[in-house]
Structure 1
Amino acid sequence: MPVKKKRKSSGSDESALKKCKITSFCRTQIPSRLINPEDHFSSKKCQSWFYEYTDTDEVVGPEGMEKFCEDIGVEPENIIMLVLAWKLEAQNMGFFTKEEWIKGMTSLQCDQPERLQGKLDYLRSQLNDPVTFKNIYRYAFDFARDKNQRSLDMDTAKSMLALILGRTWPLFPVFHQFLEQSKYKVMNKDQWYNVLEFSRTVNTDLRNYDEDGAWPVLLDEFVEWQKARLVV
């Protein structure tokens, strides 16, 4: 789950793209103790587990989140962490409140790291259903934005797009380059939603793109920019 950082001046397209690529692998896991299948979920154990990562505000913050990821053997930037946040209905990227934790982990029936490790394949499988994937994608916009802003700053938008679409959308590297050189500093919700629709319906050669369709200007400009590059 990428933590927002202060905007830095952009370098070359290649270095910027490398920077925004998100890993999809899990850490090498230390062999965990076996779980007795007869042991039922315990709310008390779930709460105690939460407090292993909290600060005085009873919120799992960045430091606690890093330890949590180590315990379950998942990189913080792994897309599984976004799916988990969606399951917990977390409101702020990089943070889990006690209420979110208890409600979400109870739903998953996880009260210790080993149980959640056993759910990782299930969490990843949620991305295979088109409807669920769309829900997670839409959730990511409000999850990642600053709550006092209506739009995503472009650095965060590029990182989140890399996380969600970077591995599956062939045009993502080109779209990322377009965003790098464009005038856009933020991405609004309508643009965010339409990028997913664009990635699902428009061919890589862009020939089936309807210029008279109800696409945001950002995507019209991307298509025009890419077609000009292909001519050259």
Structure 2
Amino acid sequence: MSMFQNKSALKQQFTAVTGCSSGEVTKWLEKSGWKLDVAIDAYLSNKTSSNTLRPDSKLVEIFESYKDNDGNGDVIGIDGTLRYLEDLGVDPDNSITLVLAYFLQSPSMGVFHRDTFLESWSRTNINTIDGMSQYLQNLYQTYKSDRDYFKKVYIFAFDFLMEVPGQRILSYDLAIDYWKLLFFERQEFEDCFTRLNQWFDFATNEYKRGFSKDTWQMFFLFLEDVIKKDPVNLSAYDEMAAWPSAIDEYIEYLRENDLVSF
């Protein structure tokens, strides 16, 4: 893809996500050095700071229609979330739900808070379910095509998956489920699928422990910097580097089972 074609694609994605007028698009992208996620964040932050966000009645009505009926008027719970996803035309088991959770800054699975729900949608000037559905689909395209935006969603996912307040370790079975959801649909990691499955086998049969936030984040770097660069030989692995112990144990597991030759 030429530089011109790439910039044209970035402009289209920026417009699709923000609804920004065409005359403003180039300005925001140039300010960010043509980094899509940075440009989008800057544009939305500017809109937030320059306008008092007062959600209109239609947006409030949408929140009210999904909120809990147990007296907590500030939360959409699991039942309301499932109805909301259904109305958006979203499969709860699809990774698009993580994109929505990241956009609305959901604190945990099946929960949306009034303040972040209204604030996030107010920034977009959208107050209909159809508009939300289209906006979410545009965000999902950005998630699938922009590595930096994908990484932000990936990092967000760890805290989002915590099941109780104060939890610091993610169970290995839940981690595996979401690694599969996050990585197996991405074309750039296709050559890594064998190593990823070996990682899952290691976690299930050998490691048998949960993963810390540091390991969750570092595994993304390990996938990009070691596995993706040389899936066969893992030649970029440096045993002197400061990888989490789980990753070093994984390498030993591969060696002991003759799954890597170095």
Tell me if both proteins adopt one fold, taking TM over 0.5 as the criterion: yes
The 5 A counterparts of 1:109-128 are: 109-127=125-143, 128=145
Deviation of 1:231 after TM superposition, in Å, equals 6.3
RMSD over aligned Cα atoms: 2.1
Of structures 1 and 2, the larger Rg is shown by: 2
- Alpha-carbon distance between aligned partners in 2 of 1:144 and 1:155, rounded to the nearest angstrom: 12
> What 5-or-longer segments of structure 1 have no aligned partner?
1-40
| CA gap 1:231/1:214 in 2 versus in 1, 3 angstroms | closer
**Bigger mean CA offset, 220-229 vs 194-203:** 220-229
Moved over 4 A (4+): none
Instruction: Say if 2:202 and 2:250, in contact at 8 Å, map to a contact too.
Output: yes
Q: CA deviation at 1:96?
A: 0.5
SS at match of 1:179: helix
1:223 pairs with 2:251: yes
Kept in 2: contact 1:166–1:172 (CA 8 A): no
Q: Kindly provide the amino acid, as one letter, of the partner of residue 230 in structure 1.
A: L
The aligned residue for residue 201 of structure 1 is 225
More helix by share: 2
Distance in 2 separating the partners of 1:174 and 1:106: 44
Q: CA deviation at 1:42?
A: 6.4
Choose from 39, 46, 51 the match for 2:59. Answer: 46
Q: 1:209 Cα deviation (Å)?
A: 1.3
Amino acid of the structure 1 residue aligned with 2:89 = G
Percent identical pairs in the alignment equals 29
Tell me how far apart the structure 1 counterparts of residues 185 and 198 of structure 2 sit (CA, whole Å): 13
Partner of 1:11: none
Give unmatched runs, 5+ long, in structure 2: 1-53
| Cα distance in structure 1, aligned partners of 2:146 and 2:110 | 25
Describe the shift of the 1:65–1:88 C-alpha distance in structure 2 as closer, same or farther (beyond 3 A): same
1:153 aligns with 2:177: no
Q: TM-score, normalised by structure 1?
A: 0.76
Aligned to 1:132: 149
Is the Cα–Cα contact under 8 Å of residues 106 and 160 in structure 2 kept in the other structure?
A: yes
Cα shift readout 1:99-150 (whole Å, capped 9, x = no counterpart): 1210121123332210012113321133222222222111111111132212
Go from structure 1 to structure 2 and tell me whether the alpha carbon gap of 1:139 and 1:124 turns closer, same or farther (over 3 Å shift): same
Indicate which of 174, 193, 199 corresponds to 2:198: 174
Aligned length: 192
* Residues 173 and 204, structure 2, Cα contact 8 Å, conserved in 1: no
